[in-house]
Amino acid sequence: MTDLALSDRSLDTLKLDAVIVGVAQKDDELIMLDGAESLEPGELLEMLKLVGARGTEGEVTRVGRAGATPPVVIAVGLGSAGDDDSVHAEPFDTERVRKAAGAAIRATNGMAHVATTLAGVNGGTDPELVQAVGEGLMLGGYTFGEYRSEQPKPADLPAKKVTLAVDKARAAANTTALKRAVKISEAVAIARDLVNTPPNDLYPDSFAKRAKALGAPLGVKAEILDEKQLASGGYGGILAVGGGSDRKPRLLRLTWAPAGVRRGTPSVALVGKGITFDSGGISIKPAANMDLMKTDMAGAAAVMAATLLAAALELPLRVVATIPLAENLPSGSAYRPSDVVVHRGGKKSEILNTDAEGRVVLADAIARACEDGPDYLIETATLTGAQVVALGERTAGVMGSEEFRDRVADAGTCVGEAAWPMPLPQDVRDGMKSKTADIANIGKGPGGMLAAGHYLKEFVAEGVQWAHIDIAGPSYNKASAYGYVAEGATGTPVRTILHVLEDIVAAG
């Protein structure tokens, strides 16, 4: 990933290949934003106008300056700057700046060292913008090339180093903000790497061992239950879903429990769906796009990365992640439609569709997580195609306890991981009645995302505030990169979970 640094020196004193500056629209005119004073902004603005720059959000324009330092300017658009006499009538929020940094870094391929003035677009240097720029640069420049025979050449990779131009006034705060950006970006990259890894290398046991190895240096304790321990522990859902594969299921438990946590501080349980490959089982999926089912463990990857991030940031609260891991494959030992599964805690589920397997493994994990008596439970999963139908590929659906559900959805929107609160109507739950068991694993009729939420709700203990985040669409970007979102895995909702954890700490 790109190395980041801070500097309060004039840009023309640094040895740079290019500088990234912000531009915007005001009264339908292109304007240069703060921070570019040492670059002859008037002349630069005219050059940008001549080549057609408009300043729209995400637009990237490169211009060369013969004999000047630095020799290349990369202008990235932040959209409207308002329409009154003040350039900053509408200050640029962190998400716009984060997206701009992500878009701009992809125009630096082959460069060794560039600088950017984006942290100063609102005038002066704002540590919040320092963090946003840092995240945008690192996440926007993310690449995954581990399985290519020929490693990418420098000309195909973003700049090795980016220096953020800042003022001297808030040096300590800016340094802290940049370090935070790096830790957050590294955690998101861990989640992205896991989701992008092919399923022949990432399966239940290897996922669990990777997580244990990553967590150990941070003080995160790991417990891994194998198939024998799952059987003796009554984890019927995980065993059923994983029964069709030769690579047996696991339950991973990660614990961040720092010393000295203030008495009365709430505890948080995290749960993430870890289906390392999903063929649909006996209810097999169509062949088209089945390759994308390597991503069906994105919830597990996000929860694991968020737990590591809580440790890296030394958050003063107890966080326990419970992650069910299984491959859903068809075979003579696979579970079948009409089977009845006995979950952890004794609740019985009639299986009507083996491709609705995520909720079946999550039920066991949620039941186990609630045995710890957490105050809050956040669960995330690539759970339903119905989420994509309802909300598209970039907005997660959030269900759960109404107050906490809304809190989680607001957190997602705040950090740029769009989320929308969804209801749990009683009529949808009525459609999940089973003549054989306590509940069926699918409902009758439309509302598949809501039916999945109802199923999970059955296993949440009384008094636990909980939220389920369906990331079937937002977890993976099948299109070209945009903003700071790379092609492939997105790492959603690691930053949402962090925001909620820190909000819980702040609220006491």
Residues acting as catalytic residues: 285, 359
Beta strands (DSSP E) in 353-480 are 376-381, 396-400, 419-421, 439-440, 465-470, 476-477
Helix/strand/coil (H, E, C) string of 48-96? HHHCCCCCCCCCEEEEECCCCCCCEEEEEEEEECCCCCCCCCCCCCHHH
- Residue 325: strand, helix, or coil: strand
Both structure tokens of 174 = 């800016």
Q: Is 416 within 8 Å of 100 (Cβ atoms)?
A: no
Q: Report the distance separating Cα 282 and Cα 339, nearest Å.
A: 12
Helices (H), 202-346: 204-215, 227-232, 236-242, 298-312
Burial 306-334 (b: 16+ CB within 10 A, else e): bbbbbbbbebebbbbbbbbbbbbbbeeeb
Phi–psi pair at 452, nearest 5 degrees:
-60, -40
Q: How many CB atoms neighbour CB 219 within 10 A?
A: 14
Q: Can you count the helices (H) and strands (E) in the chain?
A: 14, 21
**Smallest Cα–Cα separation from 94: which of 424, 484, 394, 500?**
484
Both structure tokens of 177 = 């903000």
Q: Report the distance separating Cα 423 and Cα 258, nearest Å.
A: 36
Q: Is 113 within 8 Å of 17 (Cβ atoms)?
A: yes
